[in-house]
Each structure stands twice: as C-alpha cells, then as structure tokens.
Amino acid sequence: MVERTLKDIRNALTEKTIDILAGYRKGFSGSHPPGQLVLPENLKEFGMYILGLLKSRAFKAGHEPSDRRTHTMRMLKSMGPLELSLFLYPRIIPIHSLSETDGFPNSDTGHLIVPPTIRASFSRVEEGGAYLVDDGQTCLLWLHAQVSPNLLEDLFGPGKNSLQSLDPLLSSIPVLETHLNAQVRNILAYWSSVRGSKALTVQLARQGLDGSEYEFARLLYEDRNNEAQSYVDWLVNVHRSIQLELAGQRKREDGGGGGGGEGVLEGAMAGMASMVPSWGGGK
C-alpha cells in the first residue's frame, strides 16, 4: 500500500473487478446481446460489495486519519464471511413499519421472524421513520426529525416523546412491556447472537442532533458521497469498461499490474467466497 496512492488502489480494485466480470462475459455468456450487462448468478452482489470496499475507511477519498485507515485495513484482512458481508453492506431494518409478528418466534418453527431489510440508500428512508443499522461493528438507531412521539414512548418509555428528551449516551434499549419495545429488543438479541464474540451496543443517531448521523450517511453505500459514485453510476461505468474490453479498446487505469489493490481484493474475495448477502431480501 505504501508504494501506491489511494486513488491508484481504488482504480486497481475497480480494474480487477472489470477483469473478473469481463472474463465471465467472454467465456460463459456469449448467448446474451453484446450491450447487456451479464453478472454470474453467484456473483450478482459482487459489484456492490466491491463498491462498499472502495467506500470503506480503508480506501475512501477525503480526509481520514491514517491510524483509522490502518485499523480498517487490518479488520478487513481478518474478517470472516458474515462479518465482512455486513461491513461492506450493512443491514437496515425499518422499525416504524414492523408487522405484529416481526421480532417474535414463528409459531410453527420456533425461529425468530426477522423483518426484511431495505437497500442502503436514502431514497428508501421514509419521513418520520426509525431504522436499525448494523454493519457488524456498530449498531445505529437512526431517528428522523419527524418521528412519531408515540413510537418514541413505546420504545423508550413514558415522557420520552421527543428526540431532545432522549439520552444521547444511550447504549441499549430499556426493558419495557410494550409490543414495539419487545420486538426491537428481540431483533437486537438475535443480531448479537450471530455476531459471535462482538458485543452489540446501540448508538443513537437523531437527525439534526447527533454526530453519528454522519456515520449513518456514510453507510448508505448505494448513494453518492464524497468523491465516490452511487452504485448505479459505478455499475454503468463498469459495464462501459466491460464493453470496451470485449471490443479490445479498453484503457486500463490501474497503472499496471500487481500492487496493493489486487492483494487487498484477493484477500477480500477469499472472505466473500461463501457470503450470503445481507441485502438479498431488500426492497
């Protein structure tokens, strides 16, 4: 890494992604129209995970303390499949629209009914909504400025009917006898059980009040942020490069082979091999 700039490494990661998808397009999808983007059945989420890697603190553009970049890099190299998948694409659950049975055991199987996640984009966020966001390292409870006072009281207790009334240092959901409170606590307990050794604490992210709201925005990987493209724009550029590769007209931007980018990608791909996407059921 020390021999290449962050921009070079980001380009190398993107170019390696193009190589992989172009290789599949050349060898296994000749029956499709030339202008169609074709992704392997088992790698449909691959592009999204790579964009999450590019937007991680290890590689993202903009100011980031070097010790934080180094810490993130070491974490990426040591993560298992589930932890890595969450880190590259967080799971987001709207708690303001939970059904009556969400967060409780299924009467037939006994398994907890986990509500579907939504895509990591602000376009999926509803006005007045409340969302749990988990990237495997931190768990945010993001609350819209116009969130219902009744929801806040059901979740936090009597008298807690405004964002300003909530304790900004809250790290867990209080135990109450309300239906919503039990649902959210059960979901958090389930998430904690599949995290392994990492404890799960909740951090409030109140719109317009808490600095952690910026972390919520950073985790919306499908949106444009800093110098990074949105998922749609990035995928369009990748598709264009694949077409150029197939036509023999592609100009590489990784400055040649080897280097830190490919090594990082290979390490990340080793963890991706058996990943189940956390966003597969999203809307």
Per-residue pLDDT of 11-39, as tens digits, reads 999 999 999 888 888 877 667 776 777 77
Domain ranges of the chain: 6-88+221-272, 91-218
* Degrees, nearest 5: CA angle 257-261-262: 60
Lookup: tokens for 144: 């819209």
Chain segment 161-214, per-residue pLDDT in tens: 999 999 999 999 999 999 999 999 999 999 998 876 677 899 999 999 999 999
Whole-prediction pTM:
0.83
Give the whole-angstrom CA distance, residue 45 versus residue 52.
Answer: 11
Low-confidence ranges of the chain (pLDDT < 70): 1-2, 29-30, 34, 196-197, 226, 254-283
Within 204-272, residue ranges assigned H as helices are 212-218, 231-246, 260-272
User: Judging by beta carbons within 10 Å of its beta carbon (0-12, 13-18, 19+), is residue 250 exposed, middle or buried?
Assistant: middle
CATH number, domain 6-88+221-272 = 1.20.120.730
Lookup: tokens for 181: 């409170």
Tell me the backbone φ, ψ of residue 31, rounded to 5 degrees: -80, -10
Fold category of 91-218 in CATH = Severin (3.40.20)
Phi-psi region of 110 (alpha: psi -120 to 50; beta: other; left: phi over 0): left
Residue listed under structure tokens 């890595």? 84
